[in-house]
Amino acid sequence: MRKPVIIGNWKMHTTAVEATDLLADLKNELAEVTDVEIGVSPPFVYINTARDILKNSNIKLGAQNVYWEPAGAFTGEISAPMLKDSGCDFVIVGHSERRHLMGETDEMVNKKIKALLNTGLIPVFCVGEKLEEREEGTTQTVIRKQVESGLDDIPVEKIKEIIVAYEPVWAIGTGKTATPQQAQEVHSFIRQLIIRLADAAAAEEIRIIYGGSVKPDNIDALMTEPDIDGALVGGASLKADSFAKIVGFKLQ
Ligand code: PEP
């Protein structure tokens, strides 16, 4: 039985005061939740603050990016051991904003996933097609390449530790959500790929979450689909009440 996981991606939002208030409100509002794994990923500069506020809470801490080398002359980068040392549990990699705005390639994503697994951090590995790719009918080809390249040379027993996030690029920050059926189709396709890349047990265990304009009013229908194990939430994770409502989804 896969435990649902809901993760907030704050992107490049919040001031120090806003981050502190949001974390304190989330800690308070979500204190009783035990049946859903919860995570937040603030900007790097607030991670230590978040670690202190979230101490002894049921909210896991994550980062939005990582560099694959453990240390060295890489100005401006942050390594997996640094994030581990700062109290992180997971790290988002391959987010479409990093792929399409910052030029992150499948090969870079693969190196980042390996660095995280070697450091004991959970990768939240994002994949997703662009609007024109969906319209051309190449969604599965795009997803297959991203999944195969991202998981290249990763041991079978490690694959199940990863959280895969299916995030259609056309649904991120646009207010357009994939229908539950559209998302389920791709989630099921990814699970089939995992059977081939690892094995049936890993495919059964791995969590595949959906991202793209998830809101309190569409989470219930998404979570009812058999292969949707949670959500990666951008905009709606910046308000404690909307994020708490998403975490409190009801199966339909
Ligand atoms: C995201 O940042 O991963 C995301 C899905 O954003 P939004 O929920 O705002 O579409």
Q: Is the separation of the CB atoms in 108 and 67 below 8 Å?
A: no
What pLDDT score does 175 carry? 86
* Cα 247 to Cα 33: distance, rounded to the nearest angstrom: 8
Provide mean pLDDT across the span 138-161: 97
Provide mean pLDDT across the span 228-246: 98
Which residue's alpha carbon is nearest to atom 4 within ligand 1?
234
pLDDT tens digits, one per residue of 19-38: 999 999 999 999 999 999 99
pLDDT above 80 for 226:
yes
Sequence-distant contacts of 24-33: CB under 8 A, at least 24 apart: 24/53, 25/240, 26/59, 26/240, 26/243, 26/244, 27/53, 27/54, 27/57, 27/59, 29/240, 29/241, 29/244, 30/57, 30/58, 30/59, 30/244, 30/247, 31/57, 31/58, 33/58, 33/247, 33/248
Q: Is the separation of the CB atoms in 23 and 53 below 8 Å?
A: yes
Atom of ligand 1 nearest to the CA of 171: 10
Known catalytic residue at 129? no
For the chain, what is the mean pLDDT?
97
Q: DSSP state, 34?
A: -
Which residue's alpha carbon is nearest to atom 6 within ligand 1?
234
What pLDDT score does 244 carry? 98
pLDDT tens digits, one per residue of 50-61: 999 999 999 999
Cα–Cα distances in angstroms (integers) from residue 162 to residues 53, 76, 196, in the given order = 26, 26, 16
Residue 17 CA to ligand 1 centre (angstroms): 22
Selecting among 97, 104, 133, 167, the annotated active-site residue is: 167
- Residue 38 dihedral angles phi and psi, to the nearest 5°: -120, 140
Provide mean pLDDT across the span 82-102: 98
Number of neighbouring beta carbons within 10 Å of residue 64: 21
Atom of ligand 1 nearest to the CA of 174: 10
Q: Is the separation of the CB atoms in 47 and 61 below 8 Å?
A: yes
* Cα 16 to Cα 53: distance, rounded to the nearest angstrom: 12
What pLDDT score does 125 carry? 99
Known catalytic residue at 95? yes
Site to probe by mutation for ligand 1, drawn from 6, 7, 9 as the one with most ligand atoms within 8 Å of Cβ, is: 9
Residue 70 CA to ligand 1 centre (angstroms): 28
pLDDT above 90 for 186:
yes
Which residue's alpha carbon is nearest to atom 7 within ligand 1?
234
* Cα 57 to Cα 170: distance, rounded to the nearest angstrom: 34
